[in-house]
Chain A
Amino acid sequence: MPSVTQSRSPSRLAIFFVNLLDPAAYGAFVAGFVFDIIYFVTQEIFWVKGASWLNFFGLLLAIIPRLINLYQVWISRSVSRPLAARRSFWLNALAIVVAIFNAFVHSRDAWGVMPAGLILSSVTVAFLVLAVVNHALSTPRYQEEKL
């Protein structure tokens, strides 16, 4: 996912923050999606409250890496803007926009969250997964071998 690798000379601090926070946000959104599924099946209120916190913290954790990404892809003059980087940017941006809507939907009470909350959680995760796929497809294979 970290599309900042496209930069010719990315700040080490930027790489650090993106690698630190981006996976955490991704994990929170995926966990929120799983919690929503469990609530949908069990109707046990605990799960949907958990899901709203996970979505909430996912958004908080995503702020810094997304701002860095915004800068690297669109503002920084030292960066070339390959298609993959731009695609990655938009997939992540859409995921965040949907997650913001989802935070509002998850502020409803009890079953009022459903089914919209589950649909939005799945769309958020789908965009993030597409961003991962995009990254995998655009990463030169010799790098993978080095890993």
Chain B
Amino acid sequence: MINRQFSVLLFCTLLAGCDNSDSTTVAEQIGPHPKLDKPSAFLLPPISVPSKVDWAPGQTPRPAAGLKIESIAQGLAHPRMVYQLPNNDILVAESNAPSSEAVTTPKQLISGLVKKDSGKGGKGGNRITLLRKDAQGHWQKYSFIQNLNSPFGMVLIGQSLYIADADALLVFPYQPGDLKIDSARGKRLADLPSTINHHWTKSLTASPEGKHLYVGVGSNSNITENGLEAEYRRAAILEVDPQSGASRIYADGLRNPTGVAFDPATKKLWTIVNERDEIGANLVPDYLTQVKEGAFYGWPYSYYGQHVDRRVQPPAPDKVARAVAPDYALSSHVAPLGMQFAQGSRLPGFASEGLFISEHGSWNRKPLNGYRVSYVQFSQGKPVGQPKTVVDGFVSDDQQRIFGAPVGLTLDNQGALIIADDVGNHVWRVSAAP
């Protein structure tokens, strides 16, 4: 009997292994027309994450040739998003998932334990820390705003600092040079969808003239396993009036729009989206797309246009028929979590029209995918070619250990790229090598 059970286990492992036999390469899944495999069901839930190991003293991620990297802040509590203020102070939102999602399936029990091992489940600080370079050139940390609720997006319009908590859009008065803002001075501008909060991050940007705010709200499930009613105003980008807080759905069907930003050249809104899991190691590619007003991008019913996901019942053929395919695939499970247009960058080779994207890294495929900051070249307002690696080395070469993972990105006023690393709890600064 024991032998029999062992054989069954072995059989399961082999079946699960089949998911990962790459017929499609990562490169084929990048660009405007990704090659899409047939969806496959798994037997063992696909979980593959390296174990967390702290950065050794002096150890850093690996920048591309011609660049150098330094740590400008350590010992943070799960730094997620970074934002540069006009005076070159840098804000770091330290947060992780609010503990609002109940365990409702046996799978959640197991995956919670695995996530902990990878360092991706670290406790968030629920605060914003300010980094400022002193006269000696050292970066100092200041406690900027406390008592937040899983803050993520940040944007300054004039003297109003907007912070997107997991459940609300807040606005704080800001004076140039402020080192601290009393959290009691924050005003709750608008409620954001907050029940369950399976995807809790609320990304945030403002239109170039500051007329509107745009909030990326992720879905409440991988693929409607919490019921369709839990998806009200989710998997969407909301347009919010910064004065009144009134909001409307600007575009939807975007499973988890973890970053929103305007291209400074074309003044068009772009987003990075984390697509659905568990139908194969090569499905569904995460993507970058320009957001068209009123457009529906498929989730949950379909992906990349009319590729129907049978896991959603009842189906909605009318919605599938009008689903828009995104502009540029980033390949499967890379988990893009941060984006920064390159205008203002002084990194050699990465200084023209283009976009930096942080790929937080896969947790459900072998070999791993992502775990780097990449750069996508733009031409005439559209992404072109294959992305180039700006920084990698967040995992060991044998893919067994994880030291860090990139999330938020911003540029400082010297044109250096600032990277929040929520696994290694560092903030990194990448600049031109001397």
Contacts and interface: CB of A to CB of B under 8 A. Distances in A.
B75 interface: no
A84 interface: no
A105 B41 CA distance: 9
B44 A43 contact: no
Interface stretch (A19-27, A109-117, A134-142): A109-117
Contacts of A44: 227
Contacts of B226: 45
B223 interface: yes
Contact of B225 (A53, A105, A109, A116): A109
B227 A109 contact: no
Contacts of B263: none
Contacts of B106: 52-53, 56, 103, 106-107
* Residue from A46, A103, A111 with most neighbouring chain B CB atoms (10 Å): A111
Contact of A108 (B8, B278, B314): B278
A100 B104 CA distance: 19
A133 interface: no
A100 B9 CA distance: 10
A49 interface: yes
A56 B106 CA distance: 7
B43 interface: yes
Interface in B284-325: 310-314
B230 to A, nearest CB: 9
A101 interface: yes
Chain A interface size, under 10 / 10 to 19 / 20 to 34 / 35 or more: 20 to 34
Nearest to B15: A104
A110 B105 CA distance: 11
A119 to B, nearest CB: 13
B45 interface: yes
A105 B1 CA distance: 22
A63 interface: no
Contacts of B41: 108, 112, 116
Contact of B224 (A104, A110, A116): A110
B313 A43 contact: yes
B224 A112 contact: no
B247 interface: no
A93 B2 CA distance: 11
Majority SS of interface residues in chain A? Answer: helix
Nearest to B44: A104
A108 B310 CA distance: 12
Nearest to B277: A109
B5 to A, nearest CB: 8
B62 to A, nearest CB: 36
B254 to A, nearest CB: 18
A63 to B, nearest CB: 12
Contacts of B311: 108-112
A100 B221 contact: no
A70 interface: yes
A39 to B, nearest CB: 9
Contacts of A126: none
Interface string A82-108: 000000000001000100110111111
* Residue from B104, B279, B313 with most neighbouring chain A CB atoms (10 Å): B313
A103 B106 CA distance: 9
B65 interface: no
B12 interface: yes
Given A93-B1, A104-B45, A111 B278 contact: no
Contacts of B107: 52, 107
Contacts of B44: 104
Q: Please give me the 4 A-B residue pairs with the lowest Cβ-Cβ distance, nearest first.
A: A109-B225, A107-B107, A112-B311, A43-B313
Interface of A: 43-46, 49, 52-53, 56, 70, 74, 93, 97, 100-101, 103-112, 116
30 contacts: A43-B313, A44-B227, A45-B226, A45-B227, A49-B105, A49-B225, A52-B105, A52-B106, A52-B107, A53-B105, A53-B106, A56-B106, A97-B4, A101-B12, A104-B42, A104-B45, A107-B45, A107-B105, A107-B107, A108-B42, A109-B221, A109-B222, A109-B223, A109-B225, A110-B224, A110-B312, A110-B313, A111-B311, A111-B313, A112-B223
